[in-house]
Structure 1
Amino acid sequence: MMCRVLVVDLDGTLTLSRNTYELSAEALLALRRARDAGLRVVLATANGLDFALAIARYLGIRDVIAENGCLVYLDGETHELCSGDMSRVDGAVLATGAVAPSPQNKCRRFDLAYVPLAADALERVRSAVPPGYVVESSGYAIHVRPAVVDKGVAVAWLCERLGVPCFQVASVGDSDVDVGMLRRTWGFAVGNATPAAKEAARVVVERPSGLGFREAVDIILSGGACTP
């Protein structure tokens, strides 16, 4: 087995599907197998850090990439990869009337999340946000953050801090917000991933969401990833 680190998305990847928050039992068992095999597992999520750390604790994961790469919790310390005041951007987004703020925004710092209220919410938010920010959908919410950072940038930062080449890192994701990390690593897209995620991944597995994650772990543990 060549992979040393496994970075995994949460919503849509460890869940039963892309429209539920219920975790997949098969995915949880695969996660345990990956840890038992010696892989350092990192949770990479669009969720806020407080929420992500709570989930990670029950998943047996120590390291977390939160807010789509803006925050990294590594070895007990929090590192900010984004900067700036998001209040002006938040005001512009809410003024569209096309979205409602996520309850998590009270605890989020740089990547703000919104619940769409209109069919064209994504386009209206993109029109309202000034240059220097990216607007993406995770399938669960619309996210707005500084454009300099994504999950891929956070993974690259993590690789440097851990002294692990990124080609020895596998990642699994399902949505547009996972594109950066899928490109940066030996990326796996689950079978029901978005077209952008599938295009960015090195491997697209057949099964959806949590079952797809289990399939990806099977390939990784059999030595079929992170190879020269």
Structure 2
Amino acid sequence: MSIKLIALDMDGTLLDNDHATVPPRNVAALRAASERGVKIAIASGRAWCLVEDVAREMGFVDYAVLANGAAIRDVRTGECLYREGMGEEQVRAIVRLLRARDIPFEVYQNGRSYMDGSCGVEKAKAAAVVSPAFAKVLFEHMTYTDDMERTLAGDMAEKFNVFHVEPEEREELLAAIAATGPVACASSTASNLEITSPKADKGAALAVLCGRLGITPEEVMAFGDAENDLGMLSWAGCSFAMANGSKGAKAAAKRITGPNHEAGVAAGVERFALGEA
């Protein structure tokens, strides 16, 4: 069966090790697929404000699955096709919990990233385990607030990203977060913590998007490397874990491709979507 949609995680997958640029071979392979009518979807843990530059630079991205599946955006029209978030009361409880522990965090709402300025921007920068190139993107696109509860009032939030959690503190923090209500917790790096509604999942969001487009799981190719990609890798009929990916990602995927910094995405696309030897 032919591939009709390709879904791509960003960090550790589509992007090079700088977390900011797409290897030219990946761009060429995906552009060739797009020109054949294949829909291209970024499927990231990031908010839209941290995805937009890459999507626009590539020029052929059709959809963005955002915040670990909490939202879907039509890149060409700007329309929000789907949202699944945490309610106001739970969001307030998590904000207070993290602030009381003096833990740097950001919150995603309606495509924007809000940084809790009360914890100190420099502390947040030190806690964010990212490359200098992505750190520049991250902190330039953030909206800073000293009153997070007021800023977020009146709407759900798609995701909390806690930049860094010490290993010995993780279990207690997870228990405290779970006490605020139903949540899903995942990671995309070795030490961060991503908090969403339990209904937010890249695989579930892809199912919604493909249902709208009349595309079956067998017609979807997906690439990922981390814990927050498991649902997507399990759901897609043709899925690839990166060679640099986690054990869980490799177990969930149907195939393994090369590492992100060696254009592993292109290797899979060229062979299974473009039919090249």
Q: Is the 8 A contact 1:15 1:209 kept in 2?
A: yes
Does the alignment pair 1:134 with 2:134? no
* Superposed counterparts of 1:75-224, under 5 Å: 75-78=77-80, 79-85=82-88, 86-97=91-102, 99-102=103-106, 104-106=113-115, 109-130=157-178, 131-139=181-189, 141-185=192-236, 186-205=238-257, 207-210=258-261, 211-223=263-275
Return the alpha-carbon distance in structure 2 between the equivalents of residues 160 and 200 of structure 1: 22
Comparing 87-96 with 159-168, greater Cα deviation is found at: 87-96
SS in 1 for 2:215: coil
Gaps of 5+ in 1: none
Q: Note the alpha carbon deviations across 1:50-100, whole angstroms, 9 max, x for none.
A: 222333122221311111111111353112133422221232234344x41
The count of residues paired between Structure 1 and Structure 2 equals 221
Residue 42 to residue 116, structure 1, CA distance change in 2 (3 Å):
same
Relative to the length of structure 1, the TM-score reads 0.86
How far residue 222 of structure 1 moved from its aligned partner, in angstroms, is 4.3
Aligned residue number for residue 3 of structure 1: 3
Provide the rounded CA distance (Å) in 1 between the counterparts of 2:174 and 2:217. Answer: 31
TM-score by length of 2: 0.72
The structure in which a higher percent of residues are helix is: 2
Residue equivalent to 2:120: none
For residue 68 of structure 1, what is the aligned residue in structure 2?
Answer: 68
Aligned residues of 1:4 and 1:39 also touching (Cα < 8 A)? yes
Say if 1:122 and 1:215 are closer, same or farther in 2 by CA, change over 3 A. farther
Give, in angstroms, the shift of residue 195 of structure 1: 0.8
- CA deviation after TM superposition for structure 1 residue 148, in Å: 1.5
> Is the CA contact (8 Å cut-off) linking 2:84 and 2:197 kept in structure 1?
no
Identity %: 24
SS for the counterpart of 1:41 is strand
**Stretches of 4+ aligned residues off by more than 4 angstroms:** none
Task: Give, in whole Å, the separation in 1 of the partners of 2:196 and 2:99.
Answer: 15
Higher mean C-alpha displacement, 80-89 vs 189-198: 80-89
Unaligned runs of 5+ in 2: 108-112, 116-142, 144-151
Give, in angstroms, the shift of residue 161 of structure 1.
Answer: 0.8
Deviations 1:93-143 (A, max 9, x none): 34344x411383346931111110523354343122124101111017320
Separation (CA, whole Å) in 1 of partners of 2:45 and 2:28:
23
**Corresponding position of 1:46:** 45
Residues 10 and 181 of structure 1, relative CA distance in 2, 3 Å threshold: same
Which is higher, the Rg of structure 1 or of structure 2? 2
The RMSD of aligned alpha carbons is 2.3
